[in-house]
C-alpha cells in the first residue's frame, strides 16, 4: 500500500492499494497520474520526507525504508518540457539570429547597408565558425547526446533562451556592423584564434584518454568537454576582438565551472581511487 500526501499541506491526495513490492517509483507515478491526470509523471516529485530529496524513478519500493504502508510526499514540479526541445530551441535561435545580422537584413544598420557584405575576411570567417558551432550542437542534440533527465521546467526555457539569443544578437550586431574594426594584429591573430577555436570544437565527449592527444586533457580535469567549450569561445573572442564575445565567454566559463565543480565532488564521493590531482575544469587551478 502506498499513501501519497501533499508535501506542503499534508493532505491525502491518493491511496494506492495492492502495489507490488517490486514496483518502482516510476510505476507509482504512473498509478498516481491515473488518479490525477493533471499531474503527469514528469511533473511529479515523490519523496520520503516533505523537505527531502526526490526519489529516483528507478528506485524500487521494497528497497526504501518504509513500512507496510509507504507514505510518500508529492510536490508539483510545474509544466515540463523535454530537454531535446530545450536544446534545439536554445541553439537554433543564435544560429538564425547571427545570420540575420550577417546578411544585414533591413532595419538593423540602416537602408544604405541592407543586404550588403562586409569587406573584412574575418567577419565571414567568424560567421562560418559561429554557424559551425551551433549546427554541430544541433546535430549532437539530435543524434549524440543522451539525457539522464527527460524534462525540465517549462519556465526555464525563457531564461535560457534570453541568455543565448540575447548574447547572439549582441555579439552579431557588433561583429557584422559596417564600422567593425578587424583584429589589431591582423591575419596572424586570426589564424591563431582559428586554431584555438578548432581545437576547442574538436572534442565534446571524452570517455577516457587514448593515444589521441585531444583526449589527454581527461587526465588533468574531470570535465574536459567544458574545458574545450571554453577554449573554443576564447578562440572566437581572440578572432573577433569583440567585447560582447568576451563577456559571453566569461559568463559561460563561470557557469561551466560551477557545473564542473559539482560533478567533480560527485566523482570524489563515488570513486575512492579517483585521482586527487585532477581538477574540475582548469588543470591544476580550478
Reported as a single tens digit per residue, the pLDDT across 84-97 is 999 999 999 999 99
Cα–Cα distance for residue pair 75/44, rounded to 1 Å: 6
Q: Is residue 236 part of a domain?
A: yes
When pLDDT is cut at 50, 70 and 90, the band that residue 203 belongs to is low
Identify whether residues 73 and 114 lie together within a single domain: no
Cα–Cα distance for residue pair 231/122, rounded to 1 Å: 19
Contacts of 272 (CB under 8 A, 6+ apart): none
Select from 45, 63, 78 the last residue of a domain: 78
H helices present in the chain, as ranges: 25-35, 83-102, 121-143, 155-175, 186-202, 224-240, 243-270
Identify whether residues 113 and 212 lie together within a single domain: yes
Cα–Cα distance for residue pair 163/236, rounded to 1 Å: 18
CATH number of the domain encompassing residue 54: 3.10.20.90
Identify whether residues 112 and 232 lie together within a single domain: yes
Identify whether residues 168 and 194 lie together within a single domain: yes
Select from 21, 49, 78 the last residue of a domain: 78
Q: Is residue 280 part of a domain?
A: no
Higher pLDDT, 115 or 278: 115
Q: Is residue 180 part of a domain?
A: yes
Structural domain of 25 = 2-78
Identify whether residues 98 and 155 lie together within a single domain: yes
Identify whether residues 46 and 87 lie together within a single domain: no
DSSP 8-state class, residue 86: H
Select from 55, 78, 101 the last residue of a domain: 78
CB contact burial 155-166 (16+ within 10 A = b; e otherwise): eebeeebebbbe
Read off the pTM: 0.84
Identify whether residues 129 and 199 lie together within a single domain: yes
In total, how many domains does the chain have? 2
pLDDT at 209: 52
When pLDDT is cut at 50, 70 and 90, the band that residue 206 belongs to is very low
Identify whether residues 263 and 184 lie together within a single domain: yes
Identify whether residues 146 and 188 lie together within a single domain: yes
Q: Is residue 264 part of a domain?
A: yes
Identify whether residues 96 and 216 lie together within a single domain: yes
Instruction: Flag whether pLDDT at 212 surpasses 90.
Output: no
Instruction: Flag whether pLDDT at 49 surpasses 50.
Output: yes
Q: Is residue 172 part of a domain?
A: yes
Identify whether residues 62 and 117 lie together within a single domain: no
80: β partners: 153
Identify whether residues 72 and 90 lie together within a single domain: no
Amino acid at each position: 500500500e502506498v499513501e501519497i500526501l501533499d508535501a506542503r499541506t499534508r493532505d491525502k491526495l491518493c491511496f494506492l492499494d495492492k502495489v507490488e513490492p517490486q514496483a518502482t517509483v516510476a510505476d507509482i507515478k504512473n498509478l498516481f497520474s491515473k488518479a490525477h491526470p493533471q499531474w503527469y509523471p514528469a511533473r511529479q516529485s515523490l519523496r520520503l520526507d516533505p523537505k527531502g530529496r526526490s526519489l529516483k524513478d528507478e528506485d524500487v519500493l521494497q528497497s526504501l525504508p518504509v513500512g507496510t504502508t509507504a507514505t510518500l510526499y508529492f510536490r508539483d514540479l510545474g509544466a515540463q518540457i523535454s530537454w531535446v526541445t530545450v536544446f534545439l530551441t536554445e541553439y537554433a535561435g543564435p544560429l538564425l539570429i547571427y545570420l540575420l545580422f550577417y546578411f544585414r537584413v533591413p532595419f538593423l544598420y540602416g537602408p544604405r547597408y541592407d543586404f550588403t557584405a562586409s569587406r573584412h575576411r574575418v567577419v565571414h570567417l567568424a560567421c562560418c565558425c559561429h554557424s559551425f558551432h551551433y549546427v554541430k550542437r544541433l546535430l549532437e542534440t539530435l543524434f549524440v547526446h543522451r539525457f539522464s533527465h527527460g524534462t525540465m521546467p517549462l519556465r526555464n526555457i525563457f531564461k535560457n533562451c534570453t541568455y543565448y539569443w540575447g548574447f547572439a544578437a549582441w555579439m552579431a550586431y557588433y561583429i557584422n556592423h559596417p564600422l567593425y574594426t578587424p583584429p589589431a594584429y591582423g591575419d596572424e591573430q586570426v589564424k591563431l584564434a582559428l586554431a584555438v577555436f578548432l581545437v576547442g570544437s574538436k572534442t565534446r565527449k571524452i570517455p577516457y584518454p587514448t593515444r589521441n592527444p585531444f583526449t589527454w586533457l581527461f587526465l588533468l580535469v574531470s570535465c574536459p568537454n567544458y574545458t574545450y567549450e571554453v577554449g573554443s569561445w576564447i578562440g572566437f573572442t581572440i578572432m573577433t576582438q569583440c567585447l560582447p564575445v568576451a563577456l559571453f565567454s566569461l559568463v559561460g566559463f563561470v557557469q561551466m565551472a560551477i557545473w564542473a565543480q559539482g560533478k567533480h565532488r560527485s566523482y570524489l564521493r563515488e570513486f575512492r581511487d579517483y585521482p586527487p590531482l585532477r581538477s574540475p575544469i582548469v588543470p591544476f587551478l580550478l
